[in-house]
Amino acid sequence: MKGMHLFCASPASIATCSRLDHRSMVRHGHRPLDPQKNKPVKPSDVRRKSSAHIHDLTSPPTSGSTRYLLSDRPFIDCLSDSDHVPAKPKHVVVLRVSIHCKGCKGKVRKQIPKMEGVTSFSIDLATKKVTVIGDVIPSSVLESVSKVKNARLWVYKGLRQPQPMAPKVEKKSDPKAQALKAAKAVKSGATFKKKAKKIRTKVTFHRPRTLKKDRTPKYPRISAPPRNKLDHYQILKFPLTTESAMKKIEDNNTLVFIVDIRADKKKIKDAVKKMYDIQAKKVNTLIRPDGTKKAYVRLTPEYDALDVANKIGII
């Protein structure tokens, strides 16, 4: 109904509603007295005027009272044929939503009815297409659906669906051009090569070695380099001048030294080269019972051990 008008209950006025004029008007007059008004009222007869029964609106009351309609004609306040209420515009909002399973589809199905103005919607899981129809704003629909799933928007105003595009007409290619293209492909070889399987002859295998680069610190962690505690002065302590050592000098062209216990044969050979400028052919070492290390340095034939001993001052 367009609206229910309030009736004035004053005895001096009667509110009537004309069929042609929808505006209510007040006319002066005396209302007739109801002879049954003084009778006791039953609870079943008490009825709210705002919820009148439909039979009271389509037919006059049988008791002869005109309290409700005040006329013999039925009172139905409805819209006439001349009145036109414009329909709300409908929009079709098409979304592409990232739905991958039935669970995603259920989330979107629960979210769409929460929006105002939605009359109908459909969800296509195969094409990930969601269509919403109603008096809605595309941006609000996109914002609401994006709360549960990522979505992109296409908007079609009205109920029109996009017209299908005309089929593409394929151009027939020249047979000569196709032949030249095939010949070029044959000459260039296969576009891809199938990876050959590696033949393994052992049951064990190792992963490739990990590249380990040298350390290149931005600044030295030690302020001063450490001093070399085992230099050539520390390696050769003193020559040995016992009788057996002298016999080695004369018979075997060999010098005998007492060296540092931490020195090896290569270091002893380099120390002799640097200290006395002589080339050693071979070096043998042993540790004596007193804990010192003895080195036998045999010289090359170019050097005479006796001359070197005189030069050093052993003899």
d(CA 245, CA 234): 21
Q: Choose one of 103, 122, 157: the last residue of a domain.
A: 157
- For residues 236, 242, 243, 244, the Cα torsion angle rounded to the nearest 10 degrees is -50
Q: Choose one of 60, 85, 110: the last residue of a domain.
A: 85
d(CA 253, CA 304): 6
Main-chain phi, psi angles of 220, to 5 degrees = -70, 140
Residues 4 and 80 in one domain: yes
Q: Considering the domain boundaries, does residue 55 fall inside one?
A: yes
Residues 241 and 299 in one domain: yes
Structural domain range at position 259: 232-312
Count Cβ neighbours within 10 Å for each residue of 290-303 and write b for 16 or more, e otherwise. Answer: eeebebbbebeeeb
Residues 106 and 51 in one domain: no
Residues 3 and 38 in one domain: yes
d(CA 16, CA 25): 6
Express the helix, strand and coil content of the chain in percent, nearest 5 each. Answer: 25, 20, 55
**Domain CATH for 137:** 3.30.70.100
Residues 80 and 101 in one domain: no
pLDDT of the chain along its 315 residues, tens only? Answer: 444 444 444 444 444 444 444 444 444 444 544 555 555 555 555 444 444 454 554 444 454 444 544 445 544 444 455 555 555 667 788 888 888 888 888 888 888 888 888 888 888 888 888 888 888 888 888 888 888 888 887 645 554 555 556 666 667 778 888 888 888 887 776 655 677 888 989 999 889 999 999 999 998 888 888 888 899 999 999 999 999 999 999 999 999 999 999 999 999 999 999 999 999 999 999 999 999 999 999 999 999 999 999 998 887
**Domain CATH for 283:** 3.30.70.330
* pLDDT given at position 75: 46
* pLDDT given at position 41: 54
Residues 284 and 246 in one domain: yes
Q: Choose one of 139, 157, 175: the last residue of a domain.
A: 157
Q: Considering the domain boundaries, does residue 253 fall inside one?
A: yes
Partnered with residue 13 across adjacent β-strands are 28
d(CA 196, CA 194): 6
Judge contact between 258 and 237, C-beta under 8 A: yes
Q: Considering the domain boundaries, does residue 222 fall inside one?
A: no
Q: Considering the domain boundaries, does residue 210 fall inside one?
A: no
Q: Considering the domain boundaries, does residue 196 fall inside one?
A: no
Question: For the chain, how big is the Rg over CA atoms in Å?
Answer: 58
Q: Considering the domain boundaries, does residue 215 fall inside one?
A: no
Judge contact between 233 and 263, C-beta under 8 A: no
Residues 244 and 270 in one domain: yes
Q: Considering the domain boundaries, does residue 200 fall inside one?
A: no
| CB-count exposure of residue 151 (10 Å: 0-12, 13-18, 19+) | buried
Residues 60 and 128 in one domain: no
Domain count, the chain: 3
d(CA 310, CA 250): 12
* pLDDT given at position 38: 53
* pLDDT given at position 50: 45
Q: Is 168 left (phi over 0), alpha (psi -120 to 50) or beta?
A: beta
- 213 to each of 26, 208, 210, 217, 222, how far by Cα in Å? 104, 15, 10, 12, 21
* pLDDT given at position 22: 45
Q: Considering the domain boundaries, does residue 73 fall inside one?
A: yes
Provide the sign of the torsion angle of the four alpha carbons 238, 242, 245, 249, taken in this order: positive
Q: Which residue has the tokens 């296409």?
A: 154
Lookup: tokens for 145: 């659906």
Residues 5 and 70 in one domain: yes
d(CA 111, CA 134): 15
Mutual orientation of helices 265-276 and 305-312 as an angle, nearest 10°? 70
Strand, helix or coil for residue 14: strand
Order across the sheet with 151-157: list the strands: 118-124, 129-134, 91-97, 151-157
